[in-house]
Amino acid sequence: MKRWNAKLRILSWAIFLIGMPVFVWGASPYEGKTLTIVVGYKPGGGYDRYARLYGKYLPKHIPGSPTIIIQNMPGANSIIAANHLYSVAKPDGLTIGTFNNALTTGQLTKVEGVKYDLMKFSWIGSAASDAVILTVRSDLPYKTFDDMRKAKEIVIGTTGPGSSTHDFPSILKEFTGVNLKLVPGYSSSADVMLAIERKEVDGRAGSYDSIKPFIDRGLVRPVIRNRISAPGIENLPVDEELTKDPKGKAIMAVNAAPTRIYRPYVAPPGTPADVMKILRDAFANASKDKELLAEAKKSKMTIDFASAEEALKVVREVLNQPAEMAQEIGKYIKFGD
Amino acid sequence: MLDAFIQGLFVVFEWQTFLIMLLGIFLGFWVGLLPGLGGSTTLALMLPFIYKMSPVEAFAFLLGMHSVVSTTGDITSVLFGVPGEGTTAATILDGHAMAKKGEAGRALGAALMSSLIGALVGAFALALAIPVVRPLVLSFGAPELFMLAVVGIAFISSLSGQGGRALLRGFLAGLLGLLFSLVGQDPQAGVQRFTFSQLYLWGGLDLVPVLVGLFAVPEIVDLAIRGTSIAGELPQGNLGRGAWEGVKDTFRHFWLTIRCSLIGTFIGIMPGLGGGVAQWIAYGHAVQSAQDANERSGFGKGDVRGVLGPGAANNSKEGGALIPTIAFGVPGSSAMAILLGAFFMQGLMPGPDMLDKHLTLTFSMVWTMVIANTVTVVLSFFLLNQLAKLTMVPGSILIPFILFLAFIGSYTSNNHLGDLVVFLFFGFLGYLMIRSSWPRAPLVLGFVLGRIAENNFYISTIRYGPSWLLRPVVIILIVLTLLVIVYPLLRFRKGRQAAEEEPT
Amino acid sequence: MKGFLNSRSFLALAGGMIAGYALYASLHWPFKTALFPRVVGIPLLALSLFELVLCMAGVEPEREGHAVDFELAKDIAPGLARRRTVAIFSWIFGFFVLILLCGFPLAVPLFVFLYLRLAGKHGWVLTLLLTLLSWFTMEGLFNRLLHLPFPDGWIFSLWG
């Protein structure tokens, strides 16, 4: 790494010193370079697959066609990666990264260990949005929300506080009067699906993308969604409309907001504007790339690019909550691994 | 169904598919061998490449790679005492001990042959289970999983060795392991336990740095103390013949090997038990099969049965783990979780369809596992002699490399320096335990089962109230737990009596 | 006090202290979170203290007490064994320090070189060849092929 770092450093300095004229003369900052995408999770997970997918098609859309490598930096639900991108990675455009969208809530509720500030990152955008839904097993008789409210008890399996499988139903239970019994402790959301088949639990909440295969298979039926809509669940009741309590509505809104930027991509704070423009355009164009879309479709990954401005808007919306609201939210949305 | 079975074999032998499978085998060979490369990580890295392949080719590649990893991981465990994979650590106890006695060839032969048999049993089980797999998996809920974990933990008593004092230390080790497994965020209230404000510890301690530290460091220290090669000053038998001896051992203890394969398969089928468990239960079973106290104390010091058990189990569990993955889309191990990604990429939906519409593909996976393992074992046999010669290399040359592999192997767990700290901590702990005669196997078992026990306990209690204790399978498992605890105690008492009756 | 200072007592004491800490930490937790730590911690504390007492009292039946595990080589003189143990632990810890100071990719060949020369006292040719081998593996496989993230060594962050 020392040799690479030395070379990169010399080159970056050369670029910045000689600066504008070289750039104006058309030499791309990415010519012959390596672009690293830091992923806050281990290989194989959703964030990792999105990064590798983009990593495959980005060189086409970046002048200079840099080599792209993916580096996994798992830990603390991607807080470690976010901290690294915030203070350790150099803002020369050669390192970018992706992490959990829920880090917005993490920052709002002042989770211990958070050393980043999402407002200060140089935002690239978000590759996809995702709805969070609540589903129940298909053979259960609940078809509408009123059915569910009348039910004596609906057992929902979760993986523990801090994941959408737990927080979404927990908030629903508190504010909409539905009698949900939460059973945390499953090691993964797939285990919850098995528990549903076993009739050990009645349903599961979570990301629409990850539950969709099971909906298609007919195992579960979606019944409630958060404010993000997606093909197939447009007509579902939205959680915010199911409660009259303004505090509840606010908490649900804050919980839902980050899912608009479900797969965020950022560069370290202070990355120069011209480099950012290249990156933002590259991501936007890659998201329209026919081959990328075809591969994404085959792998069942939705692509729904949100620009940096939209992303910052969402982040601002969440972070501007007053302190008391942050405290209330912290009661329901714990940050977990 | 029979024609799908035969069709599955033919599609694997098509030119392109076969070549791709060989490529996968080649990759898997090295991945298993090197502690720095994890089977799951490499699988994930290979995912983008299968995009353009047909389903049969894709799985021939991935499974070809994956099913080989447990086999070659045993090789590193035997030769160097460093776990080549998280699932091959148990093989170190007796396998590496045999290498230190100059029997590396024999240990390798036994490990490879038992791996092959384990893989065959696992594949066979997969094929046979296809009609009954859904009801079987569906009948094991959280209460049953909790009891299985308890049975596993009770097993600690048999891994502890002879004598009351040994039993005491075994329990101490087991309890320590259980405590270590609780590090991280608790799923009930989201409280951070024992994390000392370190982000790294939020997810708990990772298995690999713990195992590598616990097992590799004491071996390295031992090697440094002895100042010789791994095989020591003992006269070298013909190492090649040694391998053949190992194969014969596998057949001498054929039923043990089969039983351990079945144990591995069963544990693989149970989603949620994870890959680290099967090898230790199999090891414990092998220890229990010893006839008397003398034989038992030979375990951990080079009894070939201690190689056969885990060798078979860590391969058969892969076949078992494939079952819930294919039939339910619930991964039976972390590697399977990644394999699931491959399913989706190929446009396949795991579930009843795989056992129905895509039956040929499912059988082709079975055949891939069979063929890949056979090919690997046969090829490895040719290399065995050369590999075993490494045990004659002077320790002072090997040590820096073994340390290198141990350090990097731990690091690739989370790509974080914390991995190295964990490795060092458990390395020192492992050394202390060896010095103090505290057995390490119970610590590992406690560590692997602790969280599973806790989580399933709470799920059972919250969901069912206390009535889960009355479920039929739970009652059977409670009885089994008592048997597992009582049986060695009875043996111990009988042994004591016999010793007292001996004329002095 | 001989019984107190050897490794057996030390480990038993350590076990007890770990259990004690766990129980202490569990006092601040809600019931569900604390249950398992207590169920494990209490027996651990009790048994550790029991083992500690037995160790200090010198109760060590030679016939029993053999763990199902390997035992360190017995046929080396204790003085020599202790020196070599301290040496190897120093090397292991030193490797870790080297990684912290120079970063992983540089530390590996450096360590291999130093160990082979200083501890193994091997000739230059062999040392250099093996150092090269380790460097190839480190750079080629783990750096270039797998692109593992390696933080810069502290030396480099100081130089900036």
pLDDT tens digits along A10-53: 555 554 554 444 444 456 788 888 999 999 988 877 898 899 89
At C43 the pLDDT is: 93
Are residues C105 and A73, on separate chains, in Cβ contact within 8 Å? no
Q: Answer whether B198's CB lies under 8 Å from B418's CB.
A: yes
Say which range, B210-224, B378-392, B446-460, has the weakest mean pLDDT. B378-392
Partner residue facing C84 (CB), from B191, B227, B450: B227
CA–CA separation, B123 vs B127, rounded Å?
A: 6
pLDDT band for position C37 (cuts 50, 70, 90): very high
Q: Answer with the residue of higher pLDDT: B256 or C153.
A: B256
Distance in angstroms (rounded) separating the CA atoms of residues A202 and A180: 10
Give the other-Cβ count within 10 Å of A20's Cβ.
10
Judged by a CB distance cut-off of 8 A, whether residue A220 touches chain B is no
pLDDT at B432: 92
CB contact under 8 A, C151 and A38: no
Q: What ranges in B90-206 are assigned the alpha helix state H?
A: 90-100, 104-129, 133-138, 142-154, 156-159, 164-181
What would the two tokens of residue A133 be? 């839904």
Q: Find the Cα–Cα–Cα–Cα dihedral B292, B295, B297, B299, rounded to 10°.
A: -130
Count of beta carbons in the 10 Å neighbourhood of residue C118? 11
Pick from C15, C33, C85: CB nearest B189: C33
Mean pLDDT of chain C: 84
Decide if B329 and A213 are in contact by the 8 Å CB cutoff.
yes
pLDDT at A212: 86
Task: Tell me the DSSP string of B158-178.
Answer: HHS-SSHHHHHHHHHHHHHHH
Instruction: Report the CATH superfamily, name and number, of domain A132-257.
Output: Periplasmic binding protein-like II (3.40.190.10)
Whether B465 and chain A come into contact, CB under 8 Å, resolves to no
Task: Select from B261, B279, B268, B157 the least CA-distant residue to B215.
Answer: B279
For an interface test with C, which of B150, B215, B399 has the most C Cβ atoms less than 10 Å from its Cβ? Answer: B399
* B202 to A83: CB separation less than 8 angstroms, yes or no: no
Q: Which of residues 159-178 of B touch C (CB under 8 A)?
A: 159-166, 168-172, 175-176, 178
| Three-class DSSP category at B355 | helix
Q: Would the pLDDT of C2 be above 60?
A: no
Say if CB B320 and CB B125 are below 8 A apart.
yes
Q: What was the pLDDT predicted at C160?
A: 53
What token pair was written down for A257? 């907001």
Q: Does residue B146 sit at the C interface (CB-CB below 8 Å)? A: no
A2, A36, A71 member nearest C103 (Cβ): A2
Residue C41 distance to chain A (closest CA, Å)? 21
B127 Cβ contact partners less than 8 Å away, ≥ 6 residues apart = B5, B363, B366
Q: Tell if the CB–CB gap between A185 and B188 is shorter than 8 Å.
A: yes
Task: Please tell me the predicted confidence (pLDDT) of residue B178.
Answer: 93
Question: Nearest CA of chain C to the CA of B88: how many Å?
Answer: 16
A72·C149 Cβ contact <8 A: yes
**Percent of chain B having pLDDT more than 70?**
92
A337: contact with B, CB 8 A cutoff = yes
Query: Residue C152: CA atoms inside 13 Å, Cβ hemisphere, count?
Result: 16
Question: How sure is the predictor about C148, in pLDDT bands with cuts at 50, 70 and 90?
Answer: confident
Q: Which of B291-305, B318-332, C52-66, C83-97 has the highest average model confidence (pLDDT)?
A: C83-97
Asked if the domains A2-129+262-332 and A132-257 are classified in one and the same CATH topology, the answer is yes
Q: What are the angstrom distances between the C-alpha of B408 and each of A37, B432, C96, C119?
A: 22, 23, 11, 21
Q: Which residue has the higher pLDDT, B347 or B461?
A: B461
Cβ-defined contact of C89 to B221 (cutoff 8 Å): yes
Q: What are chain B's partners, defined as 3 or more CB pairs within 8 angstroms?
A: A, C
Q: Are A204 and A156 in contact (CB under 8 A)?
A: yes
Q: Tell me the C-alpha distance between B343 and C89, whole Å.
A: 46
Residue type (1 letter), A238: V
Whether the predicted pLDDT of B343 surpasses 60: yes
Q: Rounded CA gap, A49 and A206, in Å?
A: 19
Are B79 and B99 in contact by the 8 Å Cβ rule? The answer is: yes
Helix (H, G, I), strand (E, B) or coil at A97: strand
Residues of A in contact with B277 (CB under 8 A): none
Whether residues A299 and B186 touch (CB distance < 8 A) is answered with no
> Shortest CA distance to A101 belongs to which of A167, A158, A151?
A167
Distance CA A103, CA B328 (A): 32
Under an 8 A CB cutoff, do A2 and C148 touch? no
pLDDT at C1: 44
Q: Do A200 and B463 touch (CB under 8 A)?
A: yes
Q: pTM score, two decimals?
A: 0.88
How near does any CA of chain C get to the CA of A13, in Å?
13
CB–CB contact B437 C96 (8 Å): no
Chain C residues in contact with A70 by the CB 8 A cut-off are 147
Closest-CA distance, A69 to chain C, in angstroms, reads 7
Nearest to B231 by CA among B354, B71, B398: B398
* Nearest-Cα residue of chain C relative to residue A88: C151
Contacts of residue A246, defined as CB under 8 A and 6 or more positions apart, other chains included, come to none
Q: Identify residue A280 by its one-letter amino acid code.
A: R
- Contact assignment for A217 to B351 by CB distance below 8 Å: yes
Residue B288 included in any domain: yes
Angle between helices B90-100 and B305-328 (to 10 degrees): 150
**Quick check: ipTM above 0.85?**
yes
pLDDT score recorded for residue B276: 78
Listed by number, the residues of chain B in 283-342 with a beta carbon closer than 8 Å to a beta carbon of chain C are 287, 296-297, 299-301
Q: What is the pLDDT of residue A234?
A: 85
Using a CB-CB cut-off of 8 Å, the residues of chain B touching C96 are: 407, 420, 424
Nearest CA in chain C to B454: C36
B415 contacts A337? CB cut-off 8 A:
no
B 102-121 residues with CB < 8 A to C: none
Instruction: Give per-residue pLDDT as tens, B57-68.
Output: 888 888 888 888
User: Quick one: closest CA in B to A180, which residue?
Assistant: B463
Q: Which residue in chain B is spatially nearest to A199 when comparing CA positions? A: B138
Q: Which residues of A touch C (CB under 8 A)?
A: 1-2, 5, 36, 38, 69-73, 88
State the Cα–Cα distance between residues B424 and B402, nearest whole angstrom.
Answer: 14
Task: Inspect the interface and report whether the beta carbons of A1 and C148 lie closer than 8 Å.
Answer: no
Q: Which chains touch C (3 or more CB pairs under 8 A)?
A: A, B
**Single-letter residue type at B329:** G
Is the CB of B408 less than 8 angstroms away from the CB of C138? yes
| Structural domain spans, chain C | 2-56, 78-159
Question: CA-nearest residue of chain C to B433?
Answer: C11
pLDDT reading at B235 higher than 60: no
Higher pLDDT, B74 or B499: B74
- For B83, B223, B423, C117, the CA distances from B226, given in Å and listed in that order, are 21, 5, 23, 19
Q: Between A and B, how many residue pairs show a Cβ–Cβ distance under 8 A? A: 149
Q: How far apart are CA A148 and CA C14, in angstroms?
A: 53
Residue A149 C-alpha, separation from nearest chain B C-alpha, in angstroms: 20
Angle at B413 between CA A45 and CA B96, to 5 degrees: 130
Asked if B79 and B33 count as a contact pair (C-beta separation under 8 A), the reply is no
| Amino acid at residue number B477 | L
Distance CA B448, CA B31 (A): 23
* 3-class DSSP state of A87: helix
- Average pLDDT for B265-280: 82
Decide the pairing of beta strands A180-184 and A154-158.
Answer: parallel
Q: Is B332 on the interface with A (CB under 8 A)?
A: no
Question: Whole-number mean pLDDT of chain A?
Answer: 86
Of A7-16, A276-285, B10-19, C42-51, which range is least confident?
A: A7-16
pLDDT digits (tens, 9 = 90+) for B111-141: 999 999 999 998 888 888 777 877 878 888 8
How many angstroms away from the CA of B190 is the closest CA of chain C? Answer: 9
C-alpha distances (whole Å) from C63 to each of B165, B494, C54, C75 are 10, 16, 16, 19
Q: How many CB atoms lie within 10 A of CB B353?
A: 14
CA B54 to chain centre: 31
Share of chain A above pLDDT 90, in %: 40
How big, in percent rounded to 5, are the helix, strand and coil portions of chain C? 75, 0, 25
pLDDT at residue C81 is higher than 80: yes
Q: B47 and chain A: CB distance < 8 Å anywhere?
A: yes
Chain A contact present for B62, CB below 8 A: no
In terms of pLDDT, which residue wins out, C37 or B134?
Answer: C37
Residue of C nearest to A69 (CA): C147
B407, B423 Cβ separation under 8 angstroms: yes
What is the percentage of chain B residues whose pLDDT exceeds 90? 20
User: What is the residue-averaged pLDDT of chain B?
Assistant: 84
Please tell me which of the candidates C106, C147, C152 has its beta carbon nearest to residue A69: C147
Mean pLDDT of A172-178: 89
B36 confidence band (pLDDT: 50, 70, 90)? low
B61 within 8 A of B50, measured Cβ to Cβ? yes
In a 13 Å sphere around the CA of B4, the CA atoms on its Cβ side amount to 16
CA-angle at A159, arms to B418 and A130, nearest 5°: 95
Residue with more model confidence, A207 or A45: A207
Q: What total of structural domains would you count in chain B?
A: 1
**Residue boundaries of the structural domains of chain A:** 2-129+262-332, 132-257
Average pLDDT over residues A6-11: 60
Instruction: Write down the H helix ranges in chain A.
Output: 2-18, 20-24, 46-61, 79-83, 103-108, 145-150, 164-176, 189-197, 208-217, 246-256, 273-286, 290-298, 308-319, 323-332
Enter the CATH code of domain A2-129+262-332: 3.40.190.150
Question: Which H/E stretch holds residue C134?
Answer: helix C124-136
pLDDT in tens, B39-92: 777 777 787 777 778 888 888 888 888 888 888 888 888 888 888 777 888 899
Q: How far does the CA of residue B15 sit from the closest CA of chain A (Å)?
A: 26
pLDDT of residue B237: 55
Mutation target to probe the B interface, by most B beta carbons within 10 A, among C11, C38, C68, C130 is: C68
Segment A83-96 mean pLDDT: 92
